[in-house]
Amino acid sequence: MTAIWKSYQLVLRTHPRLAQALNTSVLFGSGDVIAQLFLERRSLRTYDARRTSRYTGVGLLVAGPAMYAWYTRLDRIVKGTKSLAVIKKVALDQVLFLPVYLASFISLMSILRGERASRLRGQLRRDFGSLLVTSYKIWPLVQTINFYLVPLHHRILVMNCVSIAWNTYLGWRTER
């Protein structure tokens, strides 16, 4: 395990965008596997590998890079880890980034499933508000701890570890 961590640290230092995208990809995919096998109680025969590949791809190509760009920029805009700076970061994150990210995620997953625009609008109307409220029960506390205690280069990894549970729930909710 130490060798894996050292390798990750090296990639994180030399190619931070790639490292963040890769860890987001793996943990997004893991959340979907857990959702399918444990929440939806699918067997290995009915397991949808294409669905997991959509989550993995979105983590790699969209979510990881978007989070890297946002949190790097947020740290430049609001400097420090003192209480007031952390409060500002959490507020900006929850008011500016989270709603856009969540709506984009729901929309992109719907498009990747090949759904029509009318279905996408219905899904956004049905799921966005309740998912946003649920996320506000989880992420402000996680982000307060994250911004206060965790160095910038490890924040996305911390979020992605929490996201295993969140993405399990998100996958279960948006794939119904």
Residues 6+ apart with CB under 8 A from 168: 31, 32, 34, 35, 38, 39
Evaluate if residue 41 carries a pLDDT over 80.
yes
Instruction: Residue 2: count other Cβ atoms within 10 Å of its Cβ.
Output: 6
| 57-113 tens-digit pLDDT | 999 999 999 999 999 999 999 999 899 999 999 999 999 999 999 999 999 999 999
Question: What is the predicted pLDDT for the residue at 167?
Answer: 77
Question: What is the predicted pLDDT for the residue at 176?
Answer: 66
Question: What is the predicted pLDDT for the residue at 118?
Answer: 84
Rounded to two decimals, the pTM is 0.88
Rounded to the nearest angstrom, the gap between the alpha carbon of residue 14 and the centroid of all alpha carbons in its chain is 23
How much is the mean pLDDT over the chain? 92
Distances (CA, A) of 113 to 51, 95, 108, 110, 174: 8, 28, 9, 5, 11
What's the chain look like in SS3?
CHHHHHHHHHHHHHCHHHHHHHHHHHHHHHHHHHHHHHHCCCCCCCCCHHHHHHHHHHHHHHHHHHHHHHHHHHHHHCCCCCHHHHHHHHHHHHHHHHHHHHHHHHHHHHHHCCCCHHHHHHHHHHHHHHHHHHHHHHHHHHHHHHHHHCCHHHHHHHHHHHHHHHHHHHHHHHCC
Q: Which residue has the tokens 């989270």?
A: 98
Question: What is the predicted pLDDT for the residue at 89?
Answer: 98
